[in-house]
Amino acid sequence: MPSTTDLRTGISRPPRPEDMNMKAANSGLAPPGTPCPLWLTFLHRVTGGDEELVGFLKRWCGYCLTGVTTEQVLGRVDGFDPEFRCCDA
């Protein structure tokens, strides 16, 4: 059965129309600390193992996934490499 998860609390409940969710995925939240080797391998590959940059990308992606718009942030990419692809199309 579909559910809506409050990202502030981690508590799931049945979806309501006021949530304005247009799509539902057949998945759930992983418990904190769940290993994510594919994600970490990707981050280390695209950053060349730069731990500071890995940490930044983890925070940035997490922020983007929450949908919270209270912060005023702007991301910028320097050193464009036309050969770089972070995912296969």
* pLDDT tens digits, 22-74: 887 777 778 888 999 999 999 999 889 999 989 988 988 888 877 777 877 77
Q: How far apart are the first and last CA of the chain?
A: 31
Residues 6 or more apart in contact with residue 81 via CB below 8 angstroms: none
- Within a domain: 77: no
* Host domain of residue 41: 36-68
Instruction: Note the pLDDT of residue 22.
Output: 80
Q: Look at residue 88 and tell me whether its pLDDT is greater than 60.
A: no
Is residue 89 situated within a structural domain?
A: no
Task: Report the distance separating Cα 45 and Cα 41, nearest Å.
Answer: 6
Angle at 30 between CA 42 and CA 4, to 5 degrees: 115
Q: Specify if 21 maps to a domain.
A: no
Per-residue confidence (pLDDT) for residue 12, from 0 to 100: 84
Q: Which two tokens stand for residue 16?
A: 């309501």
Q: Is residue 10 part of a domain?
A: no
Q: Is residue 80 part of a domain?
A: no
Q: How many domains does the chain have?
A: 1
Please give the pLDDT value at position 89. 43
